[in-house]
């Protein structure tokens, strides 16, 4: 299955970061793109410049997902939207946990529920799920974020079983640190927070860029139709998941 087999794509988290970069790549590849995000102003700007079809939707709202997106035909679904929080489950609020489960996992399941049956009927489709190395390795990060990304890993595997015998391909992209706005949003999202996040997490590091992630997605979709690229783990060369922590108590 190559790009010539597909005509439409839907990308979540389309107003920034990996989602926006994916939208731009798909448009360049000739696909009609449905761009989904909460930020209507950014989506309208993308629509004006690229001709995408904007959908300002809160992915935590299942009724809104069904109302706005339920009738679409989609050949390629890219679940790129994601949220994180600082701290861990010990410092979480109810809204922290709900936001991560709602956007990172529940929305992915509902979007798949809406679009996968049509892909099966047409014997054609590709789902790309953006997970994280947090779904594969335990390191210090938010417990719920790790949990939701681990769930996306399993969902991606399971969808291959659900669609056995059909030309449905499922790819999980599992990145390490990527230069996006997520760290700045965790700090409050203000211009000052964005500057602080850049200085803390990116300045002086050779991090991944959104172009690196888009190249991986492009590779998976461009593979011949008999080949499913199931999992791509992509990290900066200087970032590794290894390490062992052994704490010590005085008493």
Q: Which residues are catalytic?
A: 145
C-alpha torsion angle, residues 28, 229, 37, 235 (rounded to 10) = -100
| CA distance linking residue 250 with residue 248, whole number of Å | 7
8 A C-beta contact, residue 249 and residue 145: no
| CA distance linking residue 222 with residue 87, whole number of Å | 39
């Amino acid at each position: 299955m190559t790009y010539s087999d597909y005509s439409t794509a839907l990308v979540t988290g389309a107003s920034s970061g990996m989602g926006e970069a994916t939208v731009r790549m798909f448009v360049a590849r000739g696909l009609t793109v449905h761009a989904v995000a909460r930020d209507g102003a950014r989506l309208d700007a993308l629509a004006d410049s690229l001709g995408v079809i904007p959908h300002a939707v809160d992915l935590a709202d299942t009724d809104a997902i069904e109302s706005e997106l339920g009738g679409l035909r989609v050949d390629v679904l890219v679940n790129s939207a994601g949220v994180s929080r600082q701290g861990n489950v010990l410092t979480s609020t109810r809204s922290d946990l709900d936001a991560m489960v709602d956007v990172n996992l529940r929305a992915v399941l509902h979007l798949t529920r809406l679009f996968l049956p049509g892909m099966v009927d047409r014997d054609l489709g590709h789902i790309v799920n953006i997970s994280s190395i947090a779904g594969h390795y335990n390191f210090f990060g938010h417990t719920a974020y790790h949990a939701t990304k681990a769930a996306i890993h399993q969902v991606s595997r399971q969808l291959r079983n659900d669609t056995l015998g059909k030309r449905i391909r499922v790819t999980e992209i599992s990145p390490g640190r990527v230069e996006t706005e997520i760290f700045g949003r965790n700090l409050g999202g203000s211009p000052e927070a964005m500057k602080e996040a850049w200085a803390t997490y990116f300045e002086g590091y050779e991090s991944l860029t959104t172009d690196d992630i888009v190249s991986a997605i492009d590779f998976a979709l461009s593979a011949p139709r008999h080949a499913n690229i199931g999992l791509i783990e992509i990290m900066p060369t200087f970032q590794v998941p290894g390490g062992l922590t052994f704490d010590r108590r005085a008493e």
